[in-house]
Amino acid sequence: MVRMLEYVRQEEITGLLQKMIRAESVNPPADTRRCAGVLLDLLEAEGVPTERVEAKPGLVNVVATLSGGRPGKRLILNGHIDTVPAGEGWSVDPFGGELRDGYVWGRGSCDMKSGVAAMVMALVDLKRSGASFAGEVQFQAVADEETGSARGTLHLIEQGYCDGADFAICTEPTSNRVELGNRGLRWIDVTLSGTASHAGRPQLGVNAVAAAAEIIGRIEAFEFEARDERFEISAPSISVTTIEGGHTVNVIPDRCHFSVDRRMLPGETEAQVLVELEAAIAPARAERRVVVDIAVRPGCWDPYTIAPEEPVAVAAVEAARAVLRREPEIGYKAACTDASHLATRAGIPTVLLGPGNEQLSHKPDERIAVDALVSGAAIYVHMLRELLV
């Protein structure tokens, strides 16, 4: 028999999400004190042992751990509580947490306070049931994801919170479909140094802007052979995303800086990405006497996938099938998520599964269907029961 939410009411889940949306936590600056406070109050009231992990003043992560009565596996539930800024064009208050027409509205309702609310209520359901189970479940609400994960998931990994975990669920919006990987990403800064001179005597200088233009032309002409049709976007990509250089109109510029966003498929490595970029740079370096410095930003995401046979993937499919009463879709995410870090840095087989709708995320009028939210919580309850035996 499918075990749905027995100890938690639908209104408790929507009410929690409304409170979380009202506790604004836009990143930057990722001040999550209020939103983390909502979770801390709830977990304390429920008697779940909880820690407040402040990675930097204002950036509060919440870690709650529930142990069963018997030895067993260790499961991590991970979601971020920071959000992107509200932006313009809303028809409702983005931080009002309104419940209307079967939806909860507001910034973070999809990405991903809904998933976090569903996870914590699944944990509360397990606690209230009083049932003994094997192993341990750890819920992590992280403070920092939208602008990088250094003070969030990466911090928790560094501090040992993920040690010894057997599987993890990351609640990024997937519309409750099961996703078994994401593409990788490197952000790379390229700085060119030339020699300034009077623009009336350009032969005395080394023009860093012209050299950058030549390199960017080669980058734009890259053709990638790698394909992985499992992914929503099945090829790698490279984009030059910012550029600045020069001083004034009549001086040959001695500096130019541009940044690159490189999306990776599984099998591609940072070393390969740098070799390929170096090939675009080498001719300018040799022929123009320009000095080129390349720096990969820290904390970038590696591509990852897990096998559909992994216990956490099997449990996700079974739970989604039971709750949604149809065959769940399986996918692979184009964007990067903290699941990368959990899978590649902490070595934990990780599934992406969350109630939010990716198509409505990072936009005005972001909203989550109450049905999807409650189904998400029920899927997690089901997975806890499957995995902690």
User: Looking at beta carbons only, is 246 or 364 nearer to Zn ion?
Assistant: 364
111 versus 228: smaller Cβ distance to Zn ion:
111
Amino acid letter for position 332: Y
- Identity of the residue, 255 or 362, whose beta carbon is nearer to Zn ion in the bound complex: 362
Measured from the CB of residue 111, what is the shortest distance to Zn ion in angstroms? 4
**Residue 259, beta-bridge partner list:** 189, 242
- Strands 59-67, 330-333: pairing is unpaired
Residue nearest Zn ion, Cβ-based: 111
Number of residues located near Zn ion, criterion CB under 5 A: 2
In the bound state with Zn ion, the residue whose beta carbon lies nearer, of 74 and 345, is 345
Q: Quick one: 196 or 335, whose CB is closer to Zn ion? A: 335
Minimum distance from residue 297 beta carbon to Zn ion (Å): 19
Size of the chain in residues: 389
The smaller minimum CB distance to Zn ion, of residues 111 and 144, is found at: 111
**Binders in 87-126 for Zn ion, by CB under 5 A:** 111-112
- Output the smallest distance, CB 145 to Zn ion, in A: 6
Smallest gap from residue 168 Cβ to Zn ion (A): 15
Give the number of C-alpha atoms closer than 13 A to the C-alpha of residue 123, restricted to the C-beta side.
30
- Cα-Cα-Cα-Cα torsion 156, 158, 159, 164, nearest 10 degrees, comes to 80
From the CB of 34, what's the least distance to Zn ion, in Å?
A: 19
* Closest approach of Zn ion to the CB of residue 146, in Å: 7
Classify each residue of 243-275 as buried b or exposed e, where b means 16 or more C-beta atoms within 10 Å of its C-beta: eebeeeeeebbbbbbbbbebbbbbebeeeebee
What is the nearest approach in angstroms of Zn ion to the Cβ of residue 293? 32
Helix axes 270-288, 208-220, angle to 10 degrees: 140
Which is closer to Zn ion, CB of 112 or CB of 372? Answer: 112
Residue with Cβ nearer Zn ion (110 or 319): 110
Asked if residue 310 lies in contact with residue 167, where contact means CB atoms within 8 angstroms, the answer is: yes
- 3-state SS, residue 377: helix
Interaction mask 240-269, Zn ion, x per CB under 5 A: ------------------------------
Nearer to Zn ion among residue 5 and residue 77 (C-beta): 77
In the structure encoding, which two tokens stand for residue 25, read together?
């936590």
What is the footprint of Zn ion within residues 313-352 (CB under 5 A)? Answer: none
Q: Is 366 near Zn ion (CB under 5 A)?
A: no
Minimum CB–partner distance for residue 172 and Zn ion (Å): 5
Helix axes 33-46, 113-129, angle to 10 degrees: 10
Burial 292-322 (b: 16+ CB within 10 A, else e): beeebeeebbbbbbbeeeeebbbbbbbbbbb
Task: Give the shortest CB-327-to-Zn ion separation in angstroms.
Answer: 26
Q: Please state, in angstroms and rounded to a whole number, the distance separating the CA atoms of residues 19 and 24.
A: 9
| Strand ranges inside 156-236, DSSP E | 167-170, 178-182, 184-193, 197-198
Q: What is the closest distance, in whole angstroms, from the C-beta atom of residue 337 to Zn ion in the complex?
A: 7
How far apart are the two ends of the chain, measured CA to CA in Å?
17
Q: In terms of CB distance, is 256 or 369 closer to Zn ion?
A: 369
CB 18 within 8 Å of CB 107: no
DSSP helix/strand/coil, 352: strand
Q: Which residues bind Zn ion (CB under 5 A)?
A: 111-112
